[in-house]
Amino acid sequence: MKHLTTLLLLSLTLILSANAWADGPEYNDIELAKKSITDCSGGVEQIWNYEPYGKIFYGKNIDLPCLEGMEGIPSYKKAEEALVIKGDEFWFFIDSDSYGTSIQVDKYGIIAQHSHMQWTGNYLIQGVLNAQSQEDINSIKLMDGGYELHEDYYISKMSKSYKSKEGGAFWYDSKRDYDNQILELIDIKEKTKYGVSCITFEEALETSGYTFEEVQEFINPETGKSKWWLAALSYHDKPTWCYTY
């Protein structure tokens, strides 16, 4: 009887687990969200795109009480978190590849934060509040980790990368333009679990698994800058650079 009870409990657990897996995660539903917004406003007048899967619904006269429990977004998210409202105008931000969207308005643009399973994608969107066409909107994905925005650049804090093709995770700070090119590698002072390491470009290259020629291919010949830390280290203006690991 004991073994039978154990088998029954195991079977029930497997059935419940299978059902939970079948339900899957709650992703944003673009079309259903659009219908919800349309039903609770004067209508969606424009739809703008931003990278890589983002949509912006623009319209007027949004009814916030009507949006309570809005369909098209995860049940644990609130529509207000993804809305920008100015006077009678509204902009609603949504991404088809995430579990939910939150918006922060900054003087340098709008930050759309998209929630994923174990990370959050941050996208800076500029020009949207005055956009007359899609060409008026510029968006980039900010590096993972923290950030500090400035007019012509931003500071990326504690971005994760790897020392070589084989792995070796570490975290670093950098100054980047809004094309994500590294203007300057910044020495990091706050250690994580193990500590801080300072290296030269030659030392980093030797253990990276890349050749000098391969690294140079990642430098934009027009700007002399790169989006990759190892290529950027080749034009670093100090003898060493420090990161944490």
Instruction: Give the pLDDT confidence of 185-224 residue by residue, as tens digits.
Output: 999 987 777 799 999 999 999 999 999 999 999 999 999 9
Tell me the pTM: 0.79
Both tokens assigned to 235: 């034009």
The per-residue pLDDT of the chain, averaged, comes to 88
pLDDT tier at 111 (50, 70, 90 boundaries)?
Answer: very high
In this prediction, residue 52 carries a pLDDT of 85
Mean pLDDT of 58-70: 96
List pLDDT tens digits, range 82-95: 999 999 999 999 98
* Nearest one of 154, 28, 51 to 98, comparing CA atoms: 28
For the chain, give the secondary structure using H, E and C. Answer: CHHHHHHHHHHHHHHHHHHHHHHCCCCCCHHHHHHHHHHCCCCEEEEEEECCCEEEEEEECCCCHHHCCCCCCCCCCCHHHHEEEECCEEEEEEECCCCCEEEEEECCEEEEEEECCCCEEEEEEECHHHCCCHHHCEEEECCCCEEEECCCCEEEEEEEEEEECCEEEEEEEEEECCCCCEEEEECCCCCCCCCEEEECHHHHHHHHCCCHHHHHCCCCCCCCCECCHHHHHCCCCCCCEEEEC
Return d(Cα 7, Cα 19) in angstroms, integer: 18
Q: Residue 112's CB: how many other CB atoms inside 10 A?
A: 25
Statement: residue 1 has pLDDT above 80: no
pLDDT mean over 40-66: 95
Nearest Cα to 125, choosing from 136, 143, 137? 137
Q: Is the peptide bond before 65 cis (omega within 30 degrees of 0)?
A: no
